Structure 1
Amino acid sequence: MHNVPPSPPRSYSMTAGIYPTSFYTPPDHDINSSGFRRNFIPAWFAVVMGTGAVDILHEDLNPHFFFLNLSLFIVFAFVSLVRYIMFPEIWGIMVRHPVQSLYTGTFPMGSITILTIAVSLIHGDYNFGGKPFMYVLWSFWWIDVLCSFLCCFGILHYMKTSHTHTLETMTPAWVLPVITLIVTSSGGGVVASSLYKYSLNHAMVTATLSIFMVSIGLSVALMILTIYLLRLILHGLPPGTTITSAFLPLGPTGQAGYSILLLGQYFKTVLPLPYGSSKFLTAETTGASINVVCAIISVVLWALASGWLFFALLGVQNILRQTCIPFRVETWGLIFPNGVYANLTLSLASTFDSTFFRVWGSIYSVATVILWCFVATRTVVLMRNKRTFEIPS
């Protein structure tokens, strides 16, 4: 019988916001002997998130990016499943770790990017599967909802009860468990917009739950970002490669703006309801009014995201004046927040028929694709010499 492994150490330090500089290894298994067994942590699903964000931005890349991203997701999910089956104690160690546990949310967030494209492209443009396939996708969305709630409330609970955190070591990665609700709510908006043709009741339930999720996710994310701003003021910019995490606040603000804008458009389409006794839902002006309010909120969130973008750019140039920022696989964490910010900008361009939003969104979306190409190329190069699977020590 194996001895019960001791609890993982409470102290830790940060690299670029994804990987800890030390990771507890159980003495019962030589996990270090295999790269994927030791190092294939949940943060790898940030690759799926980034690729999915680029796929959503550029419809001309479909369906090639969709199947690439789907393949990556299947491979990563299989490797993760094998890892936890072979070493089941790793799961408990991981969720108690103050850094790696934050990245469990990358799994449902990565899967929702695939689901979004499946609804809009496979079902919408190609009309594949009809009603049965749409309900299969709806079922997957509900699984994603469950995973998102577990990641959000479960990891926040562990942060309060099992982790040791300090203000000085804080990074924007604290928002990752919370963003899961926001990202899943945007998926709900896409699903509801296609589902209402088959069942208005099911679509309304989906949209209403999506409002509930984005409200919780955005509220908690803004609280955490306020604390992060305090950390920057008191302790200065994150050192070295950690500065790249400064772009993460674009994720909750940009994605929440897109989700709210999408839900507003949905309610404008389906309201007033043709049934029921609710004066609010059957009023002629309700749908248009909700859409106007959602559009205004989205602009406010876009402005907030732009503010965090300026903070991030100023921080990066400040660090670059002092030292180089070496490439690491955690750079994948840059793509999704920048991608959703570009996506919100382009969506606002369509909403307001704005030249400014259209030009700025196009420039930023191209920059995001260039960033994806750079990160993907560098990752392949690192994989050839297996440096990709090394956790910094």
Structure 2
Amino acid sequence: MSPNGLTSPPSSPSRLILYNFTSQWFLIPQGTGIIAVILHQLDYQFSGLHTLSYIFWLLTIILLVVILLLYLARCVLFSRHVAHALSHDTSESACLASISISYTAVIQMIALALVPSWGKGWGVAAYTLWWTNVAMTVVVVVGVPFVYIRLYPGGVPHLSPGSQLPMIAALTAAAGAGVVCQFGEISPQLQVPAILVSYLLIGMGLPLAFALDVLFWARLLDRSLPDRQHTFQDMILCGPWGQGSFALQALGGAVMKGSFAGYDSGMFITARAAEPVGYVSMFAGLLCWGMGTFWWCFAILSIAHGATDGWRLKGIPYGLVAWSVVFPWGVYTNAAVQLGKILDSEAFKVWSTALTVILVIVWLWNMLFTIKGIVNGSLLGLDRGWKRHM
């Protein structure tokens, strides 16, 4: 036990790995899951692309389960250390939202992949799982910001893009409902409650994301810039707007597909309201994608600036934070895929395909460096390598 009452780092390599196993590892299944969804829905399909999508889906499930078990083991064995990390490290608490985000991707793929092949029962299963995820999401989107305010140091200079992950979780759950309602073949009586709750989740997530955007912009104007390694986190700023765009488009499509007409209750949930609600929702999705485009471009420039010194390439030290690029890029791409469908636009179809190709390359780059970091121990807290800790 250390003087401050915390558990001292253990000497055993296996226990030291668990001791240093942060919630940032959940960024990996989070980024993997969105690629599965994109590959399944991409307009320009080729033989084997759906199979590749299923591989990414299976990998997401495996990664999520394994990482969750390891993190739970860390919580059990080093509970004081974890509690201290959650109350002092913003990324530790924020990345817990990635559990819900990854879970949503798994649910989406159930509706997209299993319902057409194995029947409507899987749509009901996806719908049921979605409600369990909503409960998790509400806890995250309310609880984590509360922790920020009560426990972390005050002031804009301490605000990071990672603080938006809980908002992204809410928007991702809303997007998941749009997919389940459109592809899950469930009744309007089941769809409408999910659609209404999803719009509420968007109301919880998107305004908060905008407020945090403004505060982070104030931090940048004050020249309080993140360190080079955390430059990757700037891509997270694109996440709420990309996912918000897709959620609004998907929910608008579900409304116009017959959910409101089939439910037909009250003054609002009617066949007459379906078209205006659906069109406004889709138009709002287009506007959100525009805001996402700004932050996507801004993040690209920030990363390029952080990786260069003048005109010379100097690189950015690799860490798990680099996975922050994958999911926001993915939801921005997924929204572009959806815009290509609802607008029947070749421009969006081509652009989303180009984004997907680059995204897969970024995923492979991250995975290679992650495997390298596991092998040499640098990402596991074994700074002296595996052999010297034996």
TM-score range, shorter-chain basis? Answer: 0.7 to 0.9
The answer to whether the aligner puts 1:306 opposite 2:293 as a matched pair is yes
Say what the alpha-carbon RMSD is for the aligned residues.
Answer: 2.3
Report what 1:14 is aligned to. none
Report what 2:24 is aligned to. 43
Q: Distance in 2 between matches of 1:184 and 1:277?
A: 25
Can you list the C-alpha shifts for 1:145-196, whole angstroms capped at 9, x where unaligned? 111111111111111111114322322111112221111111111222245x
Report what 2:158 is aligned to. 169
Q: How does 1:307-326 map to 2 (within 5 A)?
A: 307-322=294-309, 323-326=314-317
Q: SS of 2:118's equivalent?
A: coil
The answer to whether the aligner puts 1:280 opposite 2:268 as a matched pair is yes
CA change 1:149–1:31 in 2 (3 A) is farther
Question: Out of 276, 281, 292, which is 1:289 matched to?
Answer: 276
Deviation at 1:92, TM superposition (A): 2.5
Q: Distance in 2 between matches of 1:376 and 1:198?
A: 37
Deviation at 1:391, TM superposition (A): 8.6
Deviation at 1:364, TM superposition (A): 0.8
Deviation at 1:142, TM superposition (A): 1.7
Q: Distance in 2 between matches of 1:347 and 1:289?
A: 19
Deviation at 1:30, TM superposition (A): 2.7
Q: Distance in 2 between matches of 1:37 and 1:91?
A: 10
Deviation at 1:239, TM superposition (A): 2.8
Q: Distance in 2 between matches of 1:4 and 1:143?
A: 41
Q: How does 1:23-102 map to 2 (within 5 A)?
A: 25-27=6-8, 30=10, 33=13, 34-59=15-40, 60=49, 61-99=52-90, 100-102=92-94
Contact 2:192 2:259 in 1 (8 A): no
* % same residue: 21
Contact 1:272 1:282 in 2 (8 A): yes
Question: Out of 103, 114, 117, which is 1:126 matched to?
Answer: 117
Can you list the C-alpha shifts for 1:86-120, whole angstroms capped at 9, x where unaligned? 23334432331232112111111111111111121
Structure (1 or 2) with the greater helix fraction = 2
Q: How does 1:104-253 map to 2 (within 5 A)?
A: 104-122=96-114, 124-127=115-118, 130-131=120-121, 133-195=122-184, 197-253=185-241
Can you list the C-alpha shifts for 1:32-80, whole angstroms capped at 9, x where unaligned? 8524311222211110011011111112122211111111111111112
Deviation at 1:207, TM superposition (A): 1.0
- TM-score, length basis structure 2: 0.88
CA change 1:4–1:89 in 2 (3 A) is farther
Report what 1:22 is aligned to. none
Q: Distance in 1 between matches of 2:183 and 2:347?
A: 30
Contact 2:17 2:381 in 1 (8 A): no
Question: Out of 347, 370, 374, which is 2:365 matched to?
Answer: 374
Q: SS of 2:156's equivalent?
A: coil
Write out the 4+ residue segments of structure 1 that deviate beyond 6 Å after TM superposition. Answer: none
Deviation at 1:230, TM superposition (A): 0.9
Deviation at 1:270, TM superposition (A): 1.6
Contact 1:95 1:155 in 2 (8 A): no
Contact 1:36 1:79 in 2 (8 A): no
Contact 2:189 2:262 in 1 (8 A): no
Can you list the C-alpha shifts for 1:251-284, whole angstroms capped at 9, x where unaligned? 1110010001000000001255346552433343
Q: Distance in 1 between matches of 2:178 and 2:87?
A: 33
CA change 1:280–1:159 in 2 (3 A) is closer
Q: SS of 1:281's equivalent?
A: coil
The residue type equivalent to 1:319 in the other structure is: G
The residue type equivalent to 1:202 in the other structure is: L
Deviation at 1:4, TM superposition (A): 10
Contact 2:261 2:274 in 1 (8 A): no
Can you list the C-alpha shifts for 1:299-344, whole angstroms capped at 9, x where unaligned? 1111111111222222223223324212222211110000111111
The residue type equivalent to 2:161 in the other structure is: P
The residue type equivalent to 1:246 in the other structure is: D
Listed as ranges, the gaps of 5+ residues in structure 1 are 7-24
Contact 1:31 1:38 in 2 (8 A): no
Deviation at 1:379, TM superposition (A): 1.1
